[in-house]
Structure 1
Amino acid sequence: MQDANNTMQDANTEPKKLRIAAVGDIHVHEQDTGKWVDFFRQVSEEADVLLLCGDLTDTGRESEAEVLAGELRACSIPVLAVLGNHDYDHDQVKKLRKIFAQTNLQLLDGDFTVIEHVGFTGVKGFGGGFDRYMLGMFGEQLNKDFVQEAVTEALKLDAALSQLDSQHSELKKIVLLHYAPIRATVEGEPEAIHAFLGCSRLEEPLNRRNVLATFHGHAHVGTLEGETSTGVKVFNVSVPVLQKSGYEKPFFLYEV
């Protein structure tokens, strides 16, 4: 009888929640040694995994990445990240990737990783505009190249989610981006620059692959929360947005 009761209790016990901390646009500078140690320690106490949604460095310099690598020693939980536009500024991405590969930070770029009952994937994304104002593949080659970059990023994300589905269909799916997939989370920014803050092409894979939630940064004067046309939660976790929303230590907690 005791065994039966234990079995019933086990069946009724909810699985442990995975605590996800997310933040974007930390913009680490060369002079930031020591600045982020307390942040990473606190995150490690309050979450099980940390998501960094791009602009890890301020100008994409190798020296800035080395400072971040040193600060990450204070972080005792897995760190998943995508790169942002600032990380590309000095064309040192290969060096940044090499530095981060020696830390507990895993860069996602069209691939995925699994932590407990959650599958994570991510891409940087790109601009292009939203909804009926989304740029089309027309006109000068430079314009076509701009649009093609957004298409490529969306296809990369869709392929990663498809692979995650085929190998781990039972898992909840979380997506990291730098650029926004919907207009709602860039609201507050001047309309004139919306096309450079994200693209609706990134929304399509989220809807098609039944993603649970998506985190991005980039739009510093945007809005914390929105959702796609099918109800996928989207969070703009850029540091300035979190601070504006009252987060003293800028990270957003989400449980799955």
Structure 2
Amino acid sequence: MSSAEDLVALQRTLYASRNPTRRYLHCARRDWVRLEITNAAEISPVDQALEVGPGSGVYLSSLAEVFDGVVAIDVEPGYLQAAAHLTDNSTSDSPISFVQGDLISGVLGRESIDLILCSEVIEHVEDSASLIAAMAKTLKPQGTLILTTPQPYSPVELLGKIAFLPGILQLLRLIYREPIEPTGHINVLSTAQLKAQFFAADLVVVKEERLGFYLPVIAEFGGRWGQGLLAAIDRAIQNTWLQGLLWTQCFVLKKPGSPAPSGVRVCSDVSG
């Protein structure tokens, strides 16, 4: 997929899928991110927000609702066009600007952004450590980074290596009856690897969660009952030794010395 229209169509498919489990997996992450955007705005006044890799722009309207100015940056112009298209009907008065470029190159000023959102991006970037360091440099001293990325040993990622083989991909498209595209994931990191990169960038985890349980067959053919079962398993294994099976790992990060959200324990251990 290359055109803005195709990218928007795929994004809408993910969040409004006919399949309840596919819809749930993406909407659960979306809802978590939106909640953390609101929480960050309530903790301290913020002016400028940045989304790194906005995809088709599903979060830009949420950012514009609570921040005075929003910037979306991506190296691919097609994604920026798609994001701009999706936000055409935004009711917010906050301006949204689009920058084609690489944050690592220093295209934005140091300590210039109050909140950075980086959702489902670093798994597409070979040198994620440099991108995380660049985001840390771009954050203001009291700024917040919201980051999500897949877990390497979740069933979604493990089975995804098989799902996109010739023949199987065509079968999945027949089962789901909607667009199924390769993920393009080249750098799926464990929690320990991620925390090591956070530590190197001088970022502290103030909140972390895992969510999104998937099992084949039940997900494809279980309908709403199957989705309900998988959601129940999802909740049951969160914060247990089985949480590595959940698809998405979610983090809220700050620079050392920044105030953490009330009641949240700061996690600086890089062991995972």
With normalisation by structure 2, the TM-score equals 0.31
**TM-score w.r.t. structure 1 length?**
0.32
